Amino acid sequence: MMAQNQGILLDKTMTKDELYSKLKEILITEFDIDADLITPDALIQEDLQLDSIDSVDMIVKVKPFLNSAIAPDAFKSVKTVQDVVNILEPLTK
């Protein structure tokens, strides 16, 4: 089933690996983070040096790939890149 989201046609859900790859691409291109620093266990603030404003911007950049809305408090406990993937993956369905 295809879903329309912000002008982007989504024809399938994203796996965690696909979502991780997309998130990594965004972190590299939009935030100028060295690819070697981006791992599933990388800490968003400490390892990647993203502050809370950067984190919100990161989520805004990922939003076009989601089929569901993001709950405002969903990211309060996020610490690692994998945490982000785990929260976002169900929203691609």
CA distances from 61 to 1, 29, 49, 56 (A): 24, 11, 17, 9
| Residue stretches of the chain with pLDDT short of 70 | 1-12
The pLDDT score that the predictor gives to residue 12 is: 61
Which residue stretches of 12-88 are H helix?
16-31, 52-62, 81-88
Q: What's the angle, vertex CA 27, arms to CA 22 and CA 28, rounded to 5?
A: 100
Global pTM value: 0.82
Residue linked to tokens 């603030």: 45
The pLDDT score that the predictor gives to residue 57 is: 93
Asked if 23 and 33 count as a contact pair (C-beta separation under 8 A), the reply is no
The pLDDT score that the predictor gives to residue 9 is: 41
